[in-house]
Structure 1
């Protein structure tokens, strides 16, 4: 199988590439330090699989996965993460990601996952699967709705008018949402909820 690897930490990228190259059935066709570079390599080399770090400069692994899906690129995506966040996982599944693994897992687990994905299967780290199974979105449907509007820049009065609620009720919902996601203010709360996939 032909593989592109995107990881912004130079040392880790080199070590992973060397270890993967030792496998008879894996050919590394490109290494990238960010999502934009990875997209260019995928378009020029047409690999079977791309292994993407979730947090990268310029374009994250999830943003790249979403772009590949929207452009109907056949390259399968395996995400590597140090973050056990259910929102990331939900967003990854929506983007058609086939593998979701912890960065500190042994290389043998990554190799096995690449082979499984190449066979058309999914591969998810057991530790991640368990934590995601237990995780729930802390926001109610109404809190999500109001937080989205606040994130779009609408003032409390405008949100109240749009949703036929009193300004006091909107403030209460916003206050509750901010507390639940542990944000500093409504914009911070929106950013946190967005990052965790709680607004979808």
Structure 2
């Protein structure tokens, strides 16, 4: 089954180019292209895409603020920020807004496709040049999941406590393992204790 991708950019030429690029891979399907962000919430509700690939700066719209608003109303959304500027400030902004990844438009096509697939599988992917900065920056939701993991709760119990899906809990646990460089949930807790991440 193909990964359904929704493209959001205020430049039609960019949208068309991205669509052709992504659909060269049979595992990806572009379900729609949005050039007017004011319609985005309705399109998402209707199509329920697996991945939203959104430009960080659009005419009259800030992609970072839009990402925060969308995630506030629907925690299950998976958003990748796209930018023409490979800038640390934008990357940090994308991370803080809750995006799963930040991709510069000048990155090779295969890197973009690989990022989409990794994010779909539950990873939080950021460029290697900032790995050192991102490693110990846990999102507020990851911190909450971490606290519950430390009490020995199961994924289902954590999902009920935080009112998010079991799949989203699994995504957060995968992200925690990547950031803490460990292989399982027990090691997450042990490493978090060593690093003073548990309250």
Query: Deviation per CA, 1:39-61, whole angstroms, max 9, x where unpaired?
Result: 33212211011000111123222
Where do residues 79-94 of structure 1 align in structure 2 (5 Å cutoff)? 79-94=81-96
Distance 1:84 1:24 in 2: 28
Residue 4 of structure 1 is matched in structure 2 by 6
2:94/2:101 contact within 8 Å kept: no
- Structure 2 equivalent of residue 76 of structure 1: 78
Which of 55, 58, 66 is equivalent to 2:57? 55
Aligned-pair Cα RMSD in Å: 2.1
Aligned-pair CA distance for 1:73: 4.1
Structure 2: segments with no counterpart, 5+ residues:
134-199
Aligned residues: 132
**Any conservation in 2 of the 1:3–1:47 contact (CA below 8 Å)?**
yes
CA distance in 2, matches of 1:126, 1:38: 30
Where do 1:86-165 residues align within 5 Å? 86-127=88-129, 129=130, 133=133
SS in structure 1 at match of 2:114: helix
Cα deviations by residue, 1:69-103 (Å, 9 ceiling, x for unpaired): 11124120001112244333233222211010111
Taking structure 1 as the reference length, the TM-score comes to: 0.59
* Residues 79-88 or 108-117, more deviating: 79-88
Quote the Cα distance in structure 1 between the aligned partners of 2:40 and 2:67.
Answer: 11
> Within 2, Cα distance between the matches of 1:45 and 1:22?
21
Whichever of the two has the greater Rg, that structure is 1
CA contact (8 A) 1:102 1:125 kept: no
Could you tell me how far 1:68 is from its partner in structure 2?
1.6
For normalisation by structure 2, the TM-score amounts to 0.60
Tell me, yes or no, if the aligned pair for 1:82 and 1:104 is still in contact at 8 Å: yes
Q: Partners of 1:75 and 1:65 in 2: how far apart?
A: 9
Runs of 4+ more than 3 Å apart: 84-87
- Residues 34 and 60 in structure 1, CA contact (< 8 A), matched pair in contact too: no
